Amino acid sequence: MLEVLKSNYAAKGIPKGALALPLTLLVVVLFIPLIMNLHESYSNLYDDGSLESTENLTCDVFSGNWVAYSGRPYYDNESCPFITYKQNCFMNGRPDRDFLKWRWKPDQCELPLFDAKKFLKLVRGKSMAFVGDSVGRNQMESLLCLLNSVARPEDITDRYTLNDDKYFKWWFYAHYNFTVVILWSPFLVKSSEKYLNDTSFSNAENLYLDEADEAWTTHIANFDYVIFSGGQWFFRPLTFYEKGRVVGCQKCHNVTTDPLNLYGYRNALRTAFRTVVNLKGFKGMVILVTHSPNHFENGAWNKGGGCNRTMPMTKEESALVKPYGLEEIYEIQVEEFRIAENEGREKGLRFGLMNITGVMIMRADGHPDKYGHNLDANVKINDCVHWCMPGPIDTWNQFLLRLITIPTF
């Protein structure tokens, strides 16, 4: 480039020496920042080469820390059209950006950055279903944004359902013959109402713990990946049914003072796992995303609590954070997952535990807080449950890519 410029000028008869210094300076001024930027992103990410393809597949990537990261986020609200307005924190006025400057660093190895091309290559000709609640949808939308730099999907929802809304969506990447869907099933089992658009968070619900929800069971038999996530909905008043008869309830007498009865959650999850393991024709991989922590501080969710931090917590700080029911739900998840994994392995199914609970407990800074517009029927509440996009939830899909990369064991 420099040579071309030089000879062009030289051809016009300007003495060579006269331009050499200014040109050199110009080139330096123009290109150094570029080179520095590239250097910055790559040297941080690929410092010892291990963030690239030579991944250590035996490493426990879920034990680690958030470390400073100077690279850019994967996308922004202008480049990605899949950000729901409730998670579009910047559009809603979130002023701080430092919460984007962290990456997850496992203790024993590196977690590679999300590589959209690699992901799409792995899922070519395959299908993936997210089954769960709005946090599962949050992860799926993050995935769409992460893939957006390489490929855009077509919305093919109307081929499968009349419910063409955010609760049920089918996306198709034609060039890769890859289908990704979200199936709304916050309880995984049959419930009395679908409670779409439910903003009260305390409506009573009947759960049929021994009957998996047809919202997902009727669709996933041929899927290659089924990703279960959820848990938040099990905190409300619930009546449990088995074989059509009431077997228990939760918060049935006093919403404020009655304890959780996680009999319901354990059995709903067990039924979901059993159903998928025994589903005729199912040969896919079953992934469970462990419970996603919420971070209401200075008050409960409905009592003005919020989450206005701008930096991750340290491990020590986060050890003091005890979101309601988190530990209990997490423990049930791990136990039920292990049981299902043992059953499913005998049938040749693959399993993956996406253990994000401890990873995300430190990210009290990653929620929309007041920049999310969550409304109760009569109180304005802060959203300390979902995750801003872009944001730390993008890391979940780095974990997902790793899980589907690990060869069958």
Ligand X SMILES: *[C@@H]1O[C@H](CO)[C@@H](O)[C@H](O)[C@H]1NC(C)=O
Q: Looking at the annotation, which residues are catalytic?
A: 134, 383, 386
Give the C-alpha separation, 190 to 156, whole Å.
26
Q: Does 237 bind ligand X (CB under 6 A)?
A: no
Which is nearer to ligand X, 136 or 306 (by Cβ)? 306
Site for ligand X (CB under 6 A): which residue of 8, 37, 70, 108? 108
Cβ contacts of 97 within 8 Å, gap of 6 or more: none
Q: What angle do CA 244, 245, 250 make, to 5 degrees?
A: 115
The SS3 assignment for 118 reads helix
Neighbours of 130 (CB within 10 A): 29
Cβ(312)–Cβ(162) below 8 Å: no
Site for ligand X (CB under 6 A): which residue of 6, 101, 118, 126? 126
Q: Does 63 bind ligand X (CB under 6 A)?
A: yes
Q: Does 378 bind ligand X (CB under 6 A)?
A: no
Which is nearer to ligand X, 134 or 210 (by Cβ)? 134
Cβ(367)–Cβ(307) below 8 Å: yes
Given the rule CB under 6 A, which of 23-31, 87-95, 312-320, 387-395 is the region that contacts ligand X? 87-95
Q: Does 351 bind ligand X (CB under 6 A)?
A: no
Residue whose entry in the numeric block shows the structure tokens 């990703």: 227
Give the C-alpha separation, 409 to 273, whole Å.
19
Rounded to whole angstroms, what are the CA distances from 294 to 62, 64, 299?
18, 20, 13
Which is nearer to ligand X, 230 or 306 (by Cβ)? 306
Site for ligand X (CB under 6 A): which residue of 4, 21, 159, 197? 197
Site for ligand X (CB under 6 A): which residue of 195, 334, 339, 373? 334
Q: How far is CA 54 from the centre of its chain?
A: 24
Site for ligand X (CB under 6 A): which residue of 4, 256, 281, 408? 256
Which is nearer to ligand X, 16 or 283 (by Cβ)? 283
Looking at 109-227, list the stretches that DSSP marks H as alpha helix, in order from N- to C-terminal side: 116-122, 134-147, 214-217
Residue whose entry in the numeric block shows the structure tokens 């920049």: 371
What track of x and - describes contact with ligand X for positions 291 through 320 (by CB under 6 A)? -------x-------x-x------------
Q: Does 67 bind ligand X (CB under 6 A)?
A: no
Given the rule CB under 6 A, which of 240-248, 252-260, 265-273, 276-284 is the region that contacts ligand X? 252-260
Residue whose entry in the numeric block shows the structure tokens 């003495």: 15
Q: Does 377 bind ligand X (CB under 6 A)?
A: no
Q: Does 199 bind ligand X (CB under 6 A)?
A: no
Q: Where are the beta strands (DSSP E) in 69-144?
A: 102-106, 127-132
**Can you give the length of the chain in residues?**
409
Q: How far is the CB of 32 from ligand X (least distance, A)?
A: 28
Which is nearer to ligand X, 209 or 382 (by Cβ)? 382
Give the C-alpha separation, 212 to 189, whole Å.
4
Q: Does 200 bind ligand X (CB under 6 A)?
A: no
The SS3 assignment for 168 reads strand
Site for ligand X (CB under 6 A): which residue of 77, 138, 239, 374? 77
Q: Does 48 bind ligand X (CB under 6 A)?
A: no
Q: Does 56 bind ligand X (CB under 6 A)?
A: yes
Cβ(61)–Cβ(402) below 8 Å: yes
Give the C-alpha separation, 40 to 51, whole Å.
14
Pick out residues in 16-45 that bind ligand X (CB under 6 A). Answer: none
Site for ligand X (CB under 6 A): which residue of 355, 374, 395, 397? 355
Tell me how far apart the 2 most distant CA atoms of the chain are, in Å.
Answer: 97
Q: How far is the CB of 188 from ligand X (least distance, A)?
A: 20
- The contact set with ligand X (CB under 6 A) reads 56, 58-60, 62-63, 77-78, 88, 90-91, 108-109, 125-127, 177, 196-197, 254, 256-257, 298, 306, 308, 334, 355, 358-359
